[in-house]
Amino acid sequence: MPLPLPASRKQIHARKIELHGFEREDGLWDIEGHLTDTKTYAFPNRYRGAIAAGEPIHDMSLRITLDDDFVIHKIEAVSDGTPFAICPNAAASYEDLKGLRIAAGWSRQVRNLVGGVKGCTHLTTLLNEAATVAFQTIYALRHRGKADEPAAAKPELLDSCYAFASDSDVIKEHWPDSYSGS
């Protein structure tokens, strides 16, 4: 169901985030993401002189290489378009995430390691989205063809969202031993 029709308006800003999950031949996984921010108008910029309408003010990419347990083996981040000359320097901070596991508490750990002045708000946004894509990529293939197998005693996603609430119909149907409703 689409959103209701909006009031009369004009677009000012657009953020595009695109992420892809890849299965590598060496048994690892790559998650690649790209973020751009654009304006519908031109404006001056001290570092770049001017930024034309439609030209990305932010143009950033990252790649995370993970294993089946969601442990980061390698992470690369680049900032090709930024509003300030020093912004690309923040990309190197993301290498500090090597060895970290995408799991419960992920966002908190990321904030501790690359949050605030240690990193870039835009790369961190992209990184958090990449974690979701990692799960969608790896978990789906790890569990492909296992629909007829007995469900695990406790689903990994228990209480992670509305559908996986311990008292939801989804949990009741697929993981009755973890169901907390009446």
Domain CATH for 64: 3.30.390
**pTM of the entire predicted model:** 0.84
Q: Are residues 87 and 167 in the same domain?
A: no
107 lies in the same domain as 46: yes
pLDDT of residue 144: 66
Q: Given this model, what pLDDT does residue 157 score?
A: 77
- Rounded CA gap, 81 and 77, in Å? 12
pLDDT at 143: 67
Domain total for the chain? Answer: 2
User: Residues 158, 80: one domain?
Assistant: no
163 shares a domain with 109 = no
Residues 85, 173: one domain? no
For every residue of 95-141, DSSP letters joined together read GGGTT-B-STTHHHHHHHHH-GGGS-HHHHHHHHHHHHHHHHHHHHH
Say which amino acid occupies 18: E
Residue ranges, the chain, pLDDT below 50: none
Structural domain contains residue 8: no
Domain for residue 5, yes or no? no
Q: Which residues contact 182 (CB under 8 A, 6 or more apart)?
A: none
Q: Identify whether residues 66 and 135 lie together within a single domain.
A: yes
Task: Verify that 28 and 89 share a domain, yes or no.
Answer: yes
pLDDT for the residue 3: 94
* Burial grade of 109 (CB within 10 A; 0-12, 13-18, 19 or more): middle
* Domain span holding position 84: 13-148
